């Protein structure tokens, strides 16, 4: 199946876990992330997926098609952040560690300025950094 982010991020996919898993996993594998497999745990918007990368690193996706994509991983990985940037065709907006110690990277179609304001100064978001400038 030839698939890319247009079939699951830039259009709302049918709320069937298998269809979402198939499209997302094929997109990941097409972009050289062969050692990852995601399972859809909630097919309703915001869509939630869980999996493991390299058989050991926990990974979670949460996304609202056409709006935002949140990547949570057991460790910060420039490789994973960069591949998701290529897949989504948008720069990551912000990064932080959440209260469970997961590295969280958020990608926002609108640049994420409003979300950045929400995150700043809140103790549950550790080491928050802005990764892309706001759109003008």
Every domain of the chain and the residues it spans = 5-130
- Report phi then psi at 75, rounded to 5: -155, 155
* pLDDT band of 133, cuts 50, 70, 90: low
The CA R_g of the chain, rounded to the nearest whole Å, is: 14
pLDDT digits (tens, 9 = 90+) for 23-69: 999 999 999 888 999 999 999 999 999 999 988 999 999 999 999 99
The string of pLDDT tens digits covering residues 63-100 is: 999 999 999 999 999 999 999 999 999 999 999 999 99
The answer to whether 131 and 94 have CB atoms below 8 angstroms apart is yes
């Amino acid at each position: 199946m030839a698939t890319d982010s247009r079939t699951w991020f830039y259009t709302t996919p049918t709320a069937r876990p298998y269809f979402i898993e198939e499209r997302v996993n094929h997109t990941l594998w097409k972009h050289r992330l062969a050692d990852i497999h995601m399972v859809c745990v909630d097919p309703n918007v915001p869509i939630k997926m869980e999996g493991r990368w390299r058989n050991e690193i926990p990974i979670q996706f949460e996304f609202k098609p056409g709006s935002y994509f949140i990547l949570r991983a057991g460790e910060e990985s420039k490789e994973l952040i960069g591949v998701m940037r290529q897949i989504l065709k948008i720069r990551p907006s912000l990064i932080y560690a959440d209260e469970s110690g997961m590295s969280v990277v958020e990608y926002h179609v609108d640049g994420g300025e409003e979300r950045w304001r929400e995150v700043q100064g809140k103790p549950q978001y550790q080491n928050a950094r802005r990764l892309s400038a706001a759109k003008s």
